[in-house]
Amino acid sequence: MPNELTGELNRFYEYVCRNFLASIAPQAEYNSITIQFDVNGIIFEEESSQITQEGFLSLITWKRGNYVKDFPNVPKDGVYKILSINHDVRYTQPPEYVTESELIKLMEKNKIGTDASMAVHIKNICDRVYVKVDASRKLIPTKLGVGLIESLSTVDPEIVQPSTRADIEGYVDMISRGQKRYDEVLEYVLGLYKKKWFKMRDNFDKIINAYKKFFDIDQGNFLKGVKDIRKNPNPNAVVAKKRE
């Protein structure tokens, strides 16, 4: 029962329920217009959109921002007096850390996970201490998380890009539509990651060296680890264990 859940479990329960109810709720409707201003022959544009019927957005409120961009209503061919012109000089700032809801939007945009699994993915990276969640629900990368991404990127930049996971999700979706066979997709995915496993194994020293930026590493154990990993010529034993 929901009243028996607390913390992350309660948030996960609510997220699943809201997404399910949204999937059977009425469509949302909104009006969108593009406004153009001509200033001495220079055209400036601004977009405005307003929701006319909430529909499923009343349940998954974190998606409302995708459809709402309020701008004052102005009549077509209206003439306006320019009161002032401001010129600002600004410097590029690093992007803010994303919140859990913002990360879910990015996962949806990049086709990573399903409505049921997205929250689990976020929980996994928290449990593995790749990120920490602050009081405002922003996900703050840890040294371990940043080190993992940077070290893997030195060997195979593709493995940390959303396109790799999105490609697999696309094949899984094709299974559900009857366009691909399960065994066919399984063979493709295992083959894909087997190649990446060999690549990581053959460049394990580069991965560990990249970690040295973030952690103190015992050189003796490091060399032994590289030797042990390269003793195994085939990742099938690892794959078989995962499939049991």
Residue 41: is its pLDDT beyond 50?
A: yes
pTM above 0.75, yes or no: no
Residue 1: is its pLDDT beyond 80?
A: no
Mean pLDDT lowest among 18-22, 139-143, 205-209: 205-209
d(CA 99, CA 63): 13
Residue 214: is its pLDDT beyond 70?
A: yes
Tokens of 42: 């220079």
d(CA 196, CA 165): 13
Domain residue spans of the chain:
2-66, 94-141, 147-243
pLDDT value for 237: 47
What mean pLDDT, rounded, does the chain reach? 82
User: In DSSP terms, which residues pair with 44 in a beta bridge?
Assistant: 37
If one compares 74 and 177, the residue with the highest pLDDT of the two is: 177
H helical segments located in the chain: 7-23, 100-109, 118-127, 143-155, 162-176, 182-202, 204-211, 219-231, 236-243
* pLDDT, tens digit (0-9, with 9 covering 90-100), for 182-202: 999 999 999 998 999 888 888
* pLDDT, tens digit (0-9, with 9 covering 90-100), for 89-104: 888 888 889 998 899 8
How buried is 188 (Cβ within 10 angstroms: 0-12 exposed, 13-18 middle, 19+ buried)? middle
pLDDT value for 222: 63
pLDDT value for 43: 86
Whole-number Cα distances in Å, 232 to 21, 195, 221, 227: 49, 14, 17, 9
Which residues, including other chains, have CB under 8 Å from residue 49's CB and lie 6 or more apart?
Answer: 30, 31, 32, 33, 67, 68, 69
* pLDDT, tens digit (0-9, with 9 covering 90-100), for 142-163: 999 998 899 899 999 888 888 8
pLDDT value for 230: 62
User: In DSSP terms, which residues pair with 49 in a beta bridge?
Assistant: 32, 69
d(CA 50, CA 64): 10
pLDDT value for 242: 38
Pick from 152, 135, 136: which is nearest to 144 by CA?
A: 152
